[in-house]
Structure 1
Amino acid sequence: MESQIEPAPRVWIRPRWAGVVCWVAASTLVAWTGTRVGGLDYGPVVQLIAFTPYVTAGAFAVALAALLLRRRAAGVVALLTGAALVSLVAPRAVPDSDRGDGGGPRIRVLTMNVLAGAADPDAILALIDAQDVDVLALQEHTPTLDAALVAGGIGGQLPYAQTNPEEGTSGSGLYSRHPLSDGGTHRAPSPSPVAPYLGHSASFATVVVPGAQPLLAESVHPMAPWSPWASDEWRTDLTMLTPATPDGPVRMLLGDFNATLDHSPLLGLLETGYRDAAAVDGSGLAGTWGPYAGALIPPVTLDHVLVDHRVRVESVDVFGLQGSDHRAVLAVLTLPPA
């Protein structure tokens, strides 16, 4: 009689490399979370920290992979760091029940980085018209684009202007449907990477809206952290931005901040009394830069409209802008009454 040999039971063999990979990934998440919470965004970390929302999602993928590989401790660490990152990122994707005070007239403000004047002027004018814009802020504004906008009839829609168009990326501008007063231009202290002899300029003015308190508006464009060696200048520009005056004049900063709500200098500016309109609206994760030239860079939120609590945020929308690597941000706001 032939004897039957029972097959040996299958044994789950964990690859030797699994533990190393899982712990490297989990440790990276811990370091990332510590950097974000501790405001340690310096040097090469500045660019990386902009992608925190993507890392947040990736943390749960790491946790799942570690648990499937039976690396439970690493999986739990990844899960906990993911939860911590969610607590930091998720609020900007949830509409705030407190949208601000308001009570006065409503205005529609639009900001856009026009990529050293390369944005299509006809597209800009069409967007102004379609969205019934009251205040327009431009960054990287140039004389050529300014002339094209004037020739295209921007004065008929936004007859008041405080502009400082310059060649390269340092120019700025404000256009308004309502009268402007006390306008001017000041310049960031750091040099521009394109024009080393100039820092980016910021055009500012008081927007006089009938029935509302005067609104001090400023088109801002801090230096980009284009290399690890530029991070100090980037931080200086952000920390030098005009702080909020919640017990004084009503202020609004709008433009390309070259920073997300995960960067400590921008968070410090918010602590002076500003609120990010997109975060209040629940659209704070909408990407406003990249990828528009085939680069393998996921979109990040660099363009913002900041207002204080006396301004009510009604809505925020993002629009593509032909010729620019940024998208335009439109915020509908209700101002405090006069």
Structure 2
Amino acid sequence: MIRHSGGVSYPRIEADTTPLTARPTSPRPPEPPEPKRRRRGGKFAGVTLLLLALPVIALTGLRAVGFDQQKHAAAAIALTPYALPAAALLAVLTLLFRRWLLAIVLVLCTALLAFIVLPRAFVKARPIAVGAQVRVLSVNLLFGRADPAFVVNLVRDTKADVLSLQELTPESVTALERAGLNQELPFRVLEPADGAAGTGIASRHPLTRIVLGRPPAPGAFAQPAALVNLPGPRSLEIMAVHPRIPVGPEGAEPWLRDLGTLPEPRTEGPARVLAGDFNATLDHSPLRRLLGQGYLDAADQAGAGLTPTWPGVGAGLIPPPVTLDHVLVDKRCPVDRFDVFEIPGSDHRSILATITVPSAGP
């Protein structure tokens, strides 16, 4: 108390010297959590994208490991070129819908498929070679039903030197002769048969029948071979190729056996060519094995490796068109040109490879 002279007392007030920072304060209310950022489209979009992506991812995996020993896998691998745009589109969609893990997988699939598929659309460097220009034509006659007059006119118009015929029946041999094939290509090595089993070779230049590759598997289609005696010191070995399909009742095993009997390329002596309906695309392991041994695919060399040959125009989109017909040449034969033609009455398009055959080595 403080007393003043007047006798009145006043209470003493002492100042609070506690630092402000030390004074107790009431707790601050917790900040509300930030709202969780929702993915675009919700669960429905995520499930839909996953269901669409799984077939593309599975197909990419099959192609990467080369598993085509089962008929459904072999059929799926034929669609590899279609998987590239599908993977790219799905990768963009998954990025837009923020499905990051799925997007990463699809981006990797797109990169792998682009590495595999896109080079087929570009012309390859042409090796330097001097020799005779030879035009090799391949036609699948569809059980002999293809228009014989059209086939002969195509031989005449393209000036084909060698013709590989698949699904050659005895009746189609007669029809082609009546249409004038003998006047254009008088030399022949033919093995006609009923159905799809017959095959043959016709040539503008003399032919000598030869045996190439391993003995055929039981039940295999005919795959004759011949030595083409070209003008000058040049010759060409050619084999008409037609393995059984990989999606038949027996599965892919007959197809694998038939393709496994094909000969390896030569590095000396006469050049070697395989021409026909391989029932395989550049993505199937048996054909990639042949390319790995040293053959070149004429369409791929000419930048036409994505041009489909089956089924022909007018067949619709089911099944999707794929490239089953090929001309394989050894590395000594530069590819000058590659063309594709529709054949009335056939389910395949014919292919024409113009190559340069060098002089035979020792």
Q: Deviations over 1:48-100 (max 9, x none)?
A: 10010001111011112212222132123212211111101111111001x23
Q: 280, 285, 306: which is aligned to 1:259?
A: 280
- Offset of residue 17 of structure 1: 2.4
Q: Which residue of 2 aligns with 1:106?
A: 133
Structure 1 vs Structure 2 CA RMSD: 2.1
Deviates more, 1:208-217 or 1:139-148: 208-217
- Offset of residue 12 of structure 1: 7.0
Q: How many residues align?
A: 321
Structure with the bigger RCO (C-alpha within 8 Å, sep 6+) is 1
Alignment of 1:133-282 (within 5 A): 133-183=160-210, 188-191=216-219, 199-227=220-248, 229-282=250-303
Q: SS where residue 230 of structure 1 aligns?
A: coil
Q: Which residue of 1 aligns with 2:47?
A: 20
d(CA) in 2 for partners of 1:331, 1:274: 14
Structure 1, unaligned runs of 5 or more: 1-10, 192-198
Q: Which amino acid aligns with 1:233?
A: P
Q: SS where residue 174 of structure 1 aligns?
A: strand
Structure 2, unaligned runs of 5 or more: 1-37
- Offset of residue 213 of structure 1: 2.7
Is the Cα contact below 8 Å between 1:115 and 1:169 reproduced in 2? Answer: yes
Distance 1:173 1:35, change over 3 A: same
Is the Cα contact below 8 Å between 2:237 and 2:271 reproduced in 1? Answer: yes
Q: Which amino acid aligns with 2:50?
A: W
- Offset of residue 295 of structure 1: 6.1
Q: Which residue of 2 aligns with 1:86?
A: 114
Q: SS where residue 271 of structure 1 aligns?
A: helix
Is the Cα contact below 8 Å between 1:207 and 1:216 reproduced in 2? Answer: yes
Deviates more, 1:295-304 or 1:136-145: 295-304
Q: Which residue of 1 aligns with 2:59?
A: 32
Is the Cα contact below 8 Å between 2:39 and 2:97 reproduced in 1? Answer: no
Mapped pair 1:325 → 2:330: no
Is the Cα contact below 8 Å between 2:49 and 2:90 reproduced in 1? Answer: yes
Mapped pair 1:125 → 2:152: yes
Deviates more, 1:245-254 or 1:305-314: 245-254
Q: Which residue of 1 aligns with 2:324?
A: 302
d(CA) in 1 for partners of 2:202, 2:69: 35
Distance 1:300 1:160, change over 3 A: same
Q: Which amino acid aligns with 2:290?
A: L
Distance 1:211 1:31, change over 3 A: same
Q: Deviations over 1:234-290 (max 9, x none)?
A: 111111112212244421000000000000011011112111000000001100001
d(CA) in 2 for partners of 1:25, 1:229: 31
Q: Which amino acid aligns with 2:330?
A: D
Q: TM-score, normalised by structure 1?
A: 0.89
Q: Which residue of 2 aligns with 1:77?
A: 105
d(CA) in 2 for partners of 1:261, 1:125: 29
